[in-house]
Copies of this chain bind each other. A is one copy, B any other.
Amino acid sequence: MTTNKAVVLLSGGLDSTTALAMAKASGADCYAISFNYGQRCNAELAAAERIVKSMGVIEHQVINIDMGKIGGSALTDDSIDVPEDEPEGIPVTYVPARNTVFLSFALGWAEVIGAQEIYIGVSAVDYSGYPDCRPEFIEAFEAMANLATKAGVEGESIKIQTPLMHLSKAETVQAGIQLGVDYSLTVSCYQADDDGKACGKCDSCRLRIKGFEDAGLEDPTLYI
């Protein structure tokens, strides 16, 4: 039997870690890819390192990209504050084209190693209003990916796997716990401190806290 290879986008947060656990549970050989993209929060990357050590992957790449040069987001631009209340519409923490850029790198790596799948932990349920988390975006990316690559030309195909797409944050946490994910390793906060402690106030923290509450599970997150 040939084992599937899967490239997994791993931010070090709750969702991508759950997606990694699901990719592993599917039996795929997992290749994790993380990005140092000028995000405020380097605690995320430290979390990604802890997670791959704990969960096991074939290889882990951390790609440096200076997305901050493009600007336009509170996550990469220090002149824009991370908000602590519920925003209307697309929030300032949205990084323009971030998932497109991340998936494009994952696509390049998938082509090099011969992976048939790319896992991304996006959800259309408890999400933050980012356009590039919607199923129609993922479908369009997959269609493009299959035209962009040698694999597509040669009749093979790349599948973008989004196992969390229709799960609430609570359902994601429940699924992850069943797969043995240690969420204390993960960092979701947009402005975690250097030790990985979360603010408990930003949009991402609020979604995470509510996820554990709704799931009726203990929140192992360390807060400042």
Binding site for B on A (CB under 8 A): 61, 63-67, 69-72, 90, 94-101, 103-105, 107-109, 111-112, 131-132, 134, 136-137, 140-141, 143-145, 147-150, 152-153
Instruction: Evaluate contact between B112 and A96: CB separation under 8 angstroms.
Output: yes
Enumerate chain B residues within 8 angstroms of A72, measured Cβ to Cβ: 108, 111-112
Cα-based distance from A145 to B150 in the complex (angstroms): 21
Which B residues lie within 8 Å of A64 (CB)? 64-66
Give the chain B neighbours of A69 by CB distance below 8 A.
Answer: 61, 63
How far is it, in angstroms, between the C-alpha of A63 and the C-alpha of B94 when the chains are bound? Answer: 20
Q: Is A97 a contact of B111 with CB atoms below 8 Å? A: yes
Kindly provide the distance from the CB of A77 to the nearest chain B CB, expressed in whole angstroms.
9
Which residue of chain B lies nearest to A107 when distances are taken between CB atoms in the complex?
A: B97
Task: Tell whether A131 pairs with B148 under 8 Å between CB atoms, given A61-B69, A101-B101, A140-B140.
Answer: yes
Given that A131-B153, A143-B140 are known contacts, is A148 also in contact with B108, CB under 8 Å in the complex?
Answer: no
**Which B residues are CB-close (under 8 A) to A148?**
97, 99-100, 131-132, 137, 140-141
Judge whether B144 and A137 touch: CB under 8 Å.
Answer: yes
- Smallest Cβ distance from A79 to chain B, in angstroms? 13
User: Chain B's nearest CB lies how many Å from the CB of A106?
Assistant: 9
Partner of A101, one of B90, B104, B140: B104
Residue of B nearest to A35 (CB): B65
Q: Which 5 A-B pairs have the closest CB atoms?
A: A97-B108, A72-B112, A140-B144, A96-B111, A96-B108
